[in-house]
Structure 1
Amino acid sequence: MSQSLVLKQIPSQLITVENFRPFGQVIFPSQDGKSFDAEDAQLNLQNGTPRFYIMQLTQRGRKFHKITRHVQCTQCLGSLAGKDWLIAVAPPNNNIDRPAIEQIAAFHIPGNCFIKLEVGTWHAGPYFDHEFVDFYNLELADTNVVDHFTHDFSQSHQLEFEFV
């Protein structure tokens, strides 16, 4: 007999450079011609062939029970058409197979920026209320085959999260 899932609401905060720093970077528009500096995405893509593509996601909603990390590369995500979206993250902890529940943070990301997830950052998303959102995604060509580690909270804790 299976147990029912407990729903844990997780408040989302508007993303800023400061509040997202433990998980990666937020990249906002800059003037053309600006020299490369610490405000630009600090990428780690040397472990394979970079893949830059547009992924279309539909009807994602606001609930999740799985969270994933990539330990061989950074990952960049941003929406097209200025659509806002949500992501839940937890700090990298590459010696442990799951993130600590109390360290999960949720962010509301406006459509005028993108994020770079630090190597090993746990992430659930993108999620959104729109019917569909196109996202650009920069990772390695084989990230989802050889570098995709997922933890399922419905199995380990009978737990599901909801963005509020």
Structure 2
Amino acid sequence: MSRSILLKQLQAQSITPENFRSYGQVIFPSIDGKAYDAEDAQLNLQNGIPRIYIMRLHHQGRKFHKITRHVQCTQCLGSLEGKDWLIALAPPNNDTDQPKLEEIAAFRIPGNCFIKLEVGTWHAGPYFDGDFVDFYNLELSNTNEIDHFTHNFLESHNLEFEIASIS
């Protein structure tokens, strides 16, 4: 007998430095020549060769059942062309192989900033409503081969998530 899949709706909240702190940092534009400080991305890329690249993602809706984390580096993501996007996150928790359900949150990221995910932050996305969006991605050159840990909520909880539309 097959079980019906549960669907949990996540309302995307607008990102601020305060509400994003458990997951990482949000970096907004600053004046050229500003001295380095705590508002700049605090990167951890010492465990390998840093890689920055542009990845083209195609629209795949806003549903997900898998969430991933990287435990050897921080990761930075941002859209090109000023496009808004969505991401679902859970704070790092290195004592278990899955995020806490009650801590999963969704954010709307405006196209004029980027995010830096702390080491171990669980993430699903980026999601968006257009046909495709180009994103820059800063991580390690081998992150997707050796530092890519995924939890599948369909297998563990018969659960799928959907992020509410961008408003």
User: Same fold, TM exceeding 0.5?
Assistant: yes
- The alignment of Structure 1 onto Structure 2 pairs a total of residues equal to 164
1:117 matched to 2:98? The reply is no
Task: Quote the offset at 1:153 in angstroms.
Answer: 0.3
Q: Structure 2 counterpart of 1:82, which letter?
A: G
Cα distance between partner residues in 1 of 2:38 and 2:60: 33
Cα distance between partner residues in 2 of 1:93 and 1:17: 20
Cα distance between partner residues in 2 of 1:145 and 1:94: 19
SS in 2 for 1:139: strand
Instruction: Name structure 2 gaps, 5 residues minimum.
Output: none
Corresponding residue of 2:127: 127
Residue-by-residue CA offset, 1:35-82 (whole Å, 9 max, x unaligned): 111000000000000000000000121111100000000000000000
Cα distance between partner residues in 2 of 1:156 and 1:95: 17
Corresponding residue of 1:102: 102
Cα distance between partner residues in 2 of 1:129 and 1:106: 15
Q: Structure 1 counterpart of 2:127, which letter?
A: Y
Counting only pairs closer than 5 Å after superposition, residues 20-99 of structure 1 correspond to structure 2 as 20-99=20-99
Cα distance between partner residues in 1 of 2:135 and 2:39: 21
Task: Quote the offset at 1:89 in angstroms.
Answer: 0.5
Cα distance between partner residues in 2 of 1:80 and 1:74: 20
Cα distance between partner residues in 1 of 2:122 and 2:60: 18
Structure 1 vs Structure 2: percent identity of aligned residues? 76
Instruction: Name structure 1 gaps, 5 residues minimum.
Output: none
RMSD of Structure 2 on Structure 1 (CA): 0.7
Q: Structure 2 counterpart of 1:11, which letter?
A: Q
1:8 matched to 2:15? The reply is no
Task: Quote the offset at 1:3 in angstroms.
Answer: 2.4
Q: Structure 2 counterpart of 1:44, which letter?
A: N
Q: Structure 2 counterpart of 1:41, which letter?
A: A
Residue-by-residue CA offset, 1:69-118 (whole Å, 9 max, x unaligned): 00000000000000000001001001100001000010000100000000
SS in 2 for 1:108: strand
Q: Structure 2 counterpart of 1:21, which letter?
A: R
Q: Structure 1 counterpart of 2:142, which letter?
A: D
Task: Quote the offset at 1:4 in angstroms.
Answer: 2.7
